[in-house]
Amino acid sequence: MQAHTHQQSHGASPVEALAARNLQFLALIENTIDRVSGDTDHIRVMSKAVVACLESLQKANDAKLIDPEGRLCELLGKTAEMARRMYADASGAHESACGDRLLQPDDGVVEAFSELMEAVTELHACSEELRDWVETHDALLEEPTGATYTNAADLIAALNSD
C-alpha cells in the first residue's frame, strides 16, 4: 500500500493529465485564432488600401494613362489570384474545423476562418474592381489605330499579332 501511495504522489492523476491535455488543446485553439485573426486583419488593411486607391483615381479622373505598361494590372491580377488561393486554403480549414468533433461552437475557430474567408473575398473583389477600372480607363484614352475590320476573324488576327 505504501508503494502504491508513493507512486501516485509522484505521478499525475488521470484528472490532472486530462486537465493538462485540455490546457494544451485550448492553447492550440487560441494560437490558431490569433494567427487567423492576424491574417484577417492584414487582408482587411490591404483591401482598404485598394479601395482608397480606386476612390482616389476615380476622383482625379485624369486624362492620362495610369498603367501604360500594364504592371499595375498585372500585380492586381496576382493579388486576385493570391486571394483565390487563400480562399481555397481557408475554405478547407473551415471545413476541417466544422468537422472536428473536439471543437465546440463557442471555441471561435470556425468563426475565425469564416471571417478570413470574407476578408479574402473582399480583397479579391476590390482588386478585380480596381484592375477593371484601370484597364477601362486606359483603354478609353488609347489612340485609335485607324484600322477597320470587315469581319471578326481579321480583328482577332490583328489582336493576336500585338
Give dist(CA 57, CA 38) in Å, integer: 29
How many independent structural domains does the chain possess? Answer: 1
pLDDT for position 4: 43
Each residue's pLDDT, cut to its tens digit, for the chain (162 residues) gives 344 444 444 566 766 656 666 888 889 999 999 999 999 999 999 999 999 999 999 999 788 999 999 999 999 999 999 999 999 999 999 999 999 998 888 899 999 999 999 999 999 999 999 999 999 999 999 887 778 888 999 888 888 886
Assigned domain for 7 exists: no
Asked whether residue 119 is assigned to any structural domain, the reply reads yes
Kindly state whether residue 136 falls inside one of the protein's structural domains: yes
Q: What residues make up the domain containing 94?
A: 71-140
105 located within any domain? yes
Contact residues for 87 (Cβ-Cβ < 8 A; gap 6+): 117, 120, 121, 124
The answer as to whether 158 is a domain residue is no
Q: Is residue 90 part of a domain?
A: yes
- The answer to whether residue 96 is domain-embedded is yes
Q: SS3 string of 12-75?
A: CCHHHHHHHHHHHHHHHHHHHHHHHHHHHHHHHHHHHHHHHHHHHHHHHCCCCCCCCCCHHHHH
Distance CA 2, CA 136 (A): 86
Choose among 67, 77, 61, 53: nearest CA to 135.
67
Give the chain's end-to-end CA distance (angstroms, integer): 91
Q: Cell numbers 486554403 correspond to what residue?
A: 89
- Residue 149 counted as domain residue: no
